[in-house]
Amino acid sequence: MAKGAVTFDIETCKGCELCIDACPQDSLQLSPNINAQGYHYAVLVKDNCTGCTNCALVCPDAVITVYRETKKGKVPVARVTNVTENITVTLTDERK
C-alpha cells in the first residue's frame, strides 16, 4: 500500500468532517484548536495515510492536498481547485 500524507489549508477548512468520514484509515480528526474563522479544522492524526485521495475528493472547500511517497520523493497526487466555478480535479499517476 502506498505511503501517503495530506496537508490542509487550515484557514479555509470549515470543519464539516466530510473528509474524516471518507477516510478508510481513520487518519483524520478535527483539531481541538480553531482557525481564524472560528472552525475546528481537520488534521492528520495517524501515520497510516495511504494517499488514496478520498479526503481531497470529498472536501467542498478544496482544503486538502494529498501526497504519495514515490521513488522520486513525495509528490502531490490530488488537489481540487476552483470549487466555486468549474471544478478541477488533478490526479497524478505516480507510476509514470
Q: Tell me the closest approach of the beta carbon of residue 33 to ligand SF4, in angstroms.
A: 13
Positions in 55-94 near ligand SF4 (CB under 6 A): 55, 58-59, 61, 63-64, 66
The CA–CA distances, whole Å, from 23 to 15, 36, 57, 88, 96 equal 15, 25, 11, 21, 25
Site pattern 28..47 for ligand SF4 (x: CB under 6 A): x-------------x-----
Residues in the chain: 96
Q: Does 19 bind ligand SF4 (CB under 6 A)?
A: yes
Tell me the C-alpha distance between 52 and 3, whole Å.
9
